[in-house]
Amino acid sequence: MPLVAFLPSVLVWAFICALVAIVAGAAAGSRTSHWKRGLVGALVGAAFGVIFLGALISVVGAVSFFLTSLLPSPLDRLSFYVTRILLNIAAAAFVGLAVGLLEVRSVPVVRRCVIVGVVFGVILSLANTVFDSIASFVLAPAFPGDGFVSVLISVVVFGLVPMIVRAAVDVALAVAAFRFVRRRWGAAPPATAAGT
């Protein structure tokens, strides 16, 4: 499969993990810049996206199939969302660990960054799942027919618009979570991008 096919998923993982890294870094209380935290999270997210699409695709399919067979009939459709939440938890844990090690390499601080990262990752995953469900329900009746113009409209309406709105919701959640975490642990404001 060409690398271009991996790009959208890798970018989504990088974006989400960058937000998780910034929020998790607020729990450390150090002066590392938001840019450095976000870059670390984006790199971890990009790597996770490549691994997920490459090596883990069969594992994810097996987990989804197992959940589908495990859940009762009305709930078996939720297996995809449960699998996505589990993947977000795993990615957020790695991001929290990376940010915690970047900050001060203290076991309590690293543990706190991992916990905050996982909790915020779950919040983002649940919010995105609810948003995707609502968007598909609202936009499904507007699905156009065949033809080039219809395909172009569907790409914009079903692809770009929901992606932009969901990104805005994710950023708003990250800002609220960052303020809460910084207030909870009294983290000092980070240095500028040229800082440590």
Gap between the Cα atoms of 47 and 14, Å rounded? 8
pLDDT the model gives residue 171 = 94
Average pLDDT, the chain: 75
pLDDT the model gives residue 25 = 87
pTM comes to 0.77
Higher-pLDDT residue of 113, 139: 113
pLDDT the model gives residue 158 = 61
**For residue 105, is pLDDT > 50?**
yes
| Residues near 110 by beta carbon (within 8 Å), at least 6 away in sequence | 96, 97, 100, 101, 103
Position 134 confidence tier, pLDDT thresholds 50, 70, 90: confident
Radius of gyration for the alpha carbons in the chain, expressed in angstroms and rounded: 18
Higher-pLDDT residue of 37, 160: 37
**For residue 51, is pLDDT > 50?**
yes
Position 193 confidence tier, pLDDT thresholds 50, 70, 90: very low
Residue 58 CB neighbour total at 10 angstroms: 8
Do residues 185 and 27 touch, judged by C-beta distance below 8 A? yes
